[in-house]
Amino acid sequence: MDVLSKLRPPDLTRLQSRRTRLIRRWLAVGLLMVGVLLLVYPGSARGAPTVLAAHDLPSGATLRAADVRLADLPGGARPEGVLSSLDAVDGRLLAGAVRAGEPLTDVRLATPVLVSGDPGVATVPVRLADAAVAELLQPGQRVDVVAAPEPEAPASVLASGATVVTIGHPDPAQQTISRPGKGPLVLLRLPEAIATRVAAISLERPVTVTLR
């Protein structure tokens, strides 16, 4: 015969009440322990806002709202220098390519001075003579602009210390056969007077850069 069936109604009620109090007590202890963990390990337990790439992004891309997203990552999964605000990346240039879902850190972005409107400074697009040279460049890099020699003009340095703003990545299907080996457009930041000269000469003579 079942033990509970031998108990009188008052005894059964007391037993059920005791079980209920015990369950509530254990639940309270469990919730208290969870609260303590959240206070002691806030980053690991709750995670912290982290800026992630929403999709694959090439080097030199200008970041927009659709390119990034926020997610809470545990402290152990957040690298040093990771960004935690979408405002910190809006309009900034990527210094290197990133994969979808990759956390964005401060070293992934070109320095803010590259996109500021400094007086007396201009940004000039230059198409390099050799596509392989453009692949070596990164936003923020300093280079010297050199015009290739011609029968009536020797090689010459057009500008020293130009700053690479971004490197274009044209669709290979759109490149014409008439310009084999031509590199993509590279945006260089220079003093206005020098930028005008570089832009004019780059239309007449092949131009390349030397790395610093």
Q: Under 8 Å CB-to-CB from 161, ≥6 apart: which residues?
A: 142, 144, 212
Structure confidence at residue 3 (pLDDT)? 53
Grade residue 100 by pLDDT with cuts at 50, 70 and 90.
Answer: very high
Confidence category of residue 54, pLDDT binned at 50, 70, 90: very high
pLDDT digits (tens, 9 = 90+) for 68-92: 999 888 877 788 888 888 888 887 7
Q: 44-109: what CATH class?
A: alpha beta
> Which of 25 and 159 is assigned the larger pLDDT?
159
Domains of the chain, by residue range, sit at: 44-109, 117-211
Is the pLDDT at 211 greater than 60? The verdict is yes
Distance CA 183, CA 111 (A): 24
Greater pLDDT, 76 or 178? 76
- CA angle 127–114–90, rounded 5-degree value: 110
- Please tell me the predicted confidence (pLDDT) of residue 204: 84
Over residues 148-162, mean pLDDT = 83
Give pLDDT, residue 173. Answer: 46
What would the pLDDT profile of 120-131 be if each residue is shown by its tens digit?
788 888 888 888
Q: What contacts 103, CB < 8 A, 6 or more positions away? A: 50, 51, 52, 73, 77, 78, 79, 82, 83
Structure tokens at 158: 């057009």
What's the pLDDT band for 170 if we cut at 50, 70, 90?
low
> Which tokens go with 4?
């509970």
Residue ranges of E strands in 92-195: 121-127, 142-147, 156-167, 185-191
